[in-house]
Structure formats: structure tokens, C-alpha cells
Amino acid sequence: MSTWWPVSLLGIFIQTAVWAQTRPTDNATFIRSLYRDTAYTNLKARVVQQFAHTGAGRWGEFVREVDEDLLTNRKVIALTFDACGGRYGSGYDRQLIDYLRREKIPATLFVSGKWIDANPDTFVRLAGETLFEIENHGFNHQPCSVDGQSEYGICGTADLPDAFDEIEANALKIQCITGRRPEFYRSATAYMDEACAKLARQLGYVAISFDVLSGDAVPNTPAADIARNVLTRIRPGALVIMHFNRPEWNTAEALQVIVPQLQKQGYRFAKLEDYPLKAINR
Ligand SMILES: [Zn+2]
């Protein structure tokens, strides 16, 4: 290995220590700081050069290098909740989070930089609870693309440098605030191209999709339908996707049906960091 990596990582470490004291939570300020940091800009330049001839590959929710399930045959599943932020919802579903706390149900929370900006105190509180694992849902909540793909009307990142910022800037932002570097990255909408999944892997993160789509994000989906979507598709190791940034959706109500039903069937709940992961659709 060249000496470049340790030097670079050291630079990021030092910068992280400085940021940790000032706790920058504003995306615009934070990215300006990163662009002034040579550890960040050198890493970006190196990765961009490395991927210069890598084609975008397939675009989708289940592309190569993306994991979707816990590697276990036991009755264990992972509940994951996204917080998208910006015009995709910067609310906080307190009822949902309080239910998880009350029932001591561990969960993985994928959080965007924009959502953190709108909920800095809530974010810090959630990150301090061992019940929750905080992971990366992108800096600006853009689907991760090296050539400007869009999904559900949401503009993806325009190119490789843009994709780098979307993944790495939010990972560093989370690390600066919480002291823990995320392990996983879920692209906005869960769509990404193969190059971005590879890029995440190169940066040290596992790209994550999902196995069981709760459908809570489809407008006006009744709680009973969300619960049915989950309960009919659940199986050992399944990774369920829901949201905790839209209290007006019926996610919390559905969850209070889903959890007791699954417990009755003998299921337990785990965070992503608790199990090795696998892909199901390669
Ligand atoms: Zn999202």
C-alpha cells in the first residue's frame, strides 16, 4: 500500500477532531470546509482518477455490490428506517421512535445530511442511543449515479465527483457529529448504478438496498396495507425498508401491528451491524 492512504486518513482524523468540537451541521458550511481540506480533496481526486474509465453499469435497486439481507437462517430481521430530508420530508416521526424505545426494538436509521440540518438535536439524541444504529442516506438525498440518472422524479448525482460527495461528505458529517463512521450507505430511493456501489465499497462502506418493501412511502397507504406488505413477505434474515421522516404517513401505526405479529411468530430484531450481510439478487 502506498503511504498516501494513511496520510490521508490521518488528515481526515485530525480534521474530524477539530470539527467534532464545533459540530457543523449545516450542509453548505460543511462542504465548504471539506473543499478546503486537502485530505478530502486528495482522496476525491484519487478516487475520481481511479474510476475514470469505469462505466455506470446497471441502474436499479439491486445492482452488483449491493447487499439486501442479513446472512442468517434464524428468525432474525432488520428494521431499517430512512430520513430523507429537504423537500422529501424533514419531519420526525416521534410516535414511531417512541414505540421502538418503549418496546426496546433495535433499528437501523439511514439519515441524510439535509435531515440532520433540520433536526440537529434529535439526531444527536438518536445517535446516542444504543438501540439505534445511524447509517448514511446521502449528503443531499440524491440517487447515486455517475451519469445523472433520476428516479421517481428525484435528480441523481451528475457525475463521479458529485457521487463521491454524496457518499463521503455525509459519512464524514455523521462521523464528525457522532464520533462513529457509518458502515453502510443507502442511496436516496435505493436506486444507484454499479459504479456508485463499487465507489461506496472502495470508500469502505457497504451499499445497502432492501428485501421487504413496506410501501409506506406510497401516498395514503393505509396502515393495514403497510403491515400486510411486511408480514406476507417476511422471512429469516429479511431487511425491511420504512421511513421515520414523515409522521403524516401511517408507518408508526403499521409498526404497532407488525412488531407484535412478528414476535408471536418467534422473530427477533437486529441492527445491520449485528450480522454479516448478503445479496439476494446478483
Ligand atoms: Zn430517502
CATH number at residue 206: 3.20.20.370
Rg from Cα positions in the chain: 18
Residue 165 in any domain: the answer is yes
What is the CA(225)–ligand 1 centre distance, in A?
Answer: 20
- HEC states along 150-194? EECCEECCCCHHHHHHHHHHHHHHHHHHHCCCCCEECCHHHCEEH
Query: What's the pTM?
Result: 0.90
What is the CA(5)–ligand 1 centre distance, in A?
Answer: 31
What is the CA(188)–ligand 1 centre distance, in A?
Answer: 4
Residue 24 is predicted with a pLDDT of: 57
Residue 23 in any domain: the answer is yes
Residue 1 in any domain: the answer is no
Q: Which amino acid is at 248?
A: E
Tell me the mean pLDDT per 10 residues along the chain, length 282.
43 52 75 95 96 90 79 91 93 98 98 96 96 98 93 92 97 95 96 94 93 92 97 94 97 98 97 82 50
Q: Inter-axis angle of helices 4-22 and 38-50, to 10 degrees? A: 130
What is the CA(83)–ligand 1 centre distance, in A?
Answer: 6
Helices (H), 23-93: 27-35, 38-50
What is the CA(275)–ligand 1 centre distance, in A?
Answer: 23
Residue 3 in any domain: the answer is no
What is the CA(82)–ligand 1 centre distance, in A?
Answer: 6
Residue 70 in any domain: the answer is yes
Is 270 in contact with 108 (CB distance < 8 Å)? no
Cα(165)–Cα(116) distance, integer angstroms? 16
Helices (H), the chain: 4-22, 27-35, 38-50, 94-103, 113-118, 120-127, 160-164, 170-178, 194-202, 223-233, 251-264
Residue 275 in any domain: the answer is yes
What is the CA(105)–ligand 1 centre distance, in A?
Answer: 22
Domain residue limits at 20: 9-280
Q: Which residues contact 164 (CB under 8 A, 6 or more apart)?
A: 44, 47, 48, 199, 203
What is the CA(47)–ligand 1 centre distance, in A?
Answer: 25
What is the CA(23)–ligand 1 centre distance, in A?
Answer: 23
Provide the 10 A C-beta neighbour count for residue 218: 12
3-state secondary structure of 266: coil
What is the CA(180)–ligand 1 centre distance, in A?
Answer: 21
3-state secondary structure of 232: helix
Q: Which residue has the cell 463499487?
A: 198
What is the CA(258)–ligand 1 centre distance, in A?
Answer: 21
Number of domain units in the chain: 1
Q: Which residues contact 144 (CB under 8 A, 6 or more apart)?
A: 138, 156, 157, 163, 166, 167, 185, 187, 188, 191, 192, 193, 196, 199, 200
Residue 159 in any domain: the answer is yes
What is the CA(143)–ligand 1 centre distance, in A?
Answer: 9
Residue 2 in any domain: the answer is no
What is the CA(107)–ligand 1 centre distance, in A?
Answer: 16
What is the CA(8)–ligand 1 centre distance, in A?
Answer: 30
Alpha-carbon distance values, 9 to 160, 204, 278 (Å): 21, 12, 28
What is the CA(189)–ligand 1 centre distance, in A?
Answer: 5
What is the CA(115)–ligand 1 centre distance, in A?
Answer: 10
What is the CA(21)–ligand 1 centre distance, in A?
Answer: 28
Is 210 in contact with 241 (CB distance < 8 Å)? yes
